Amino acid sequence: MSERLSALGKTTIAPEVIVSVIRLNTLKVTGVSALAVIPTSVDRFFSRGIDDGVKISVENNVVNADIFVILHHDINVREVGKSIQHKVSRAISEMVGMEVGKINIHVEDIDFSADSSKK
């Protein structure tokens, strides 16, 4: 059976797919208002899979991510950060089937608008 599976080929996953999984799961966490724009630097030109709010690197089937978020004003920042890490880590391992390295959360701003608590 294993010979037949290896003869079928391999599956590759585009970095954009991983970024989409991270983005969608981050936005589902209660307390997240939006993803923030990644601060620009020279490193941005040399990193793969960069998109608004999410920067990833993949080495040896291990995904490391930096997630830049804007949070609602009426939440516990530490708890929301841990929730994002847990939800994203689980999604990467279950949906994509890759190992998870570091999931770094960068709180870039707090949303104090009147509508932010209704989201």
Residue 98 lies in a domain: yes
**Within a domain: residue 93?**
yes
Q: CB–CB of 71/112 below 8 Å?
A: no
| Residue 69 maps to a domain | yes
pLDDT band at 1 (very low <50, low <70, confident <90, very high): very low
Largest CA distance in the chain: 60
For residue range 13-68, list pLDDT tens digits in order: 999 999 999 999 999 999 999 999 887 665 555 555 455 899 999 999 899 999 99
In 2-112, at which residue ranges do the beta strands (DSSP E only) sit?
Answer: 32-35, 54-59, 62-72, 99-111
Confidence at 2, pLDDT banded by 50, 70, 90? very low
Residue 55 lies in a domain: yes
CA angle, corner 32, sides to 74 and 34, nearest 5?
A: 120
The whole-number pLDDT of residue 45 equals 55
Structural domain span for residue 41: 12-118
CATH number at residue 82: 3.30.70.1350
Question: Global pTM?
Answer: 0.80
Number of domains in the chain: 1
Residue 7: per-residue pLDDT? 72
Q: Decide if 87 is inside a domain.
A: yes
- Burial readout 57-79 (b: 16 or more C-beta within 10 A, e: otherwise): bbeeeebebbbbbbbbeebeeee
Q: Give the residue from 111, 15, 26 showing the smallest Cα distance to 68.
A: 26
Within-domain flag for 34 = yes
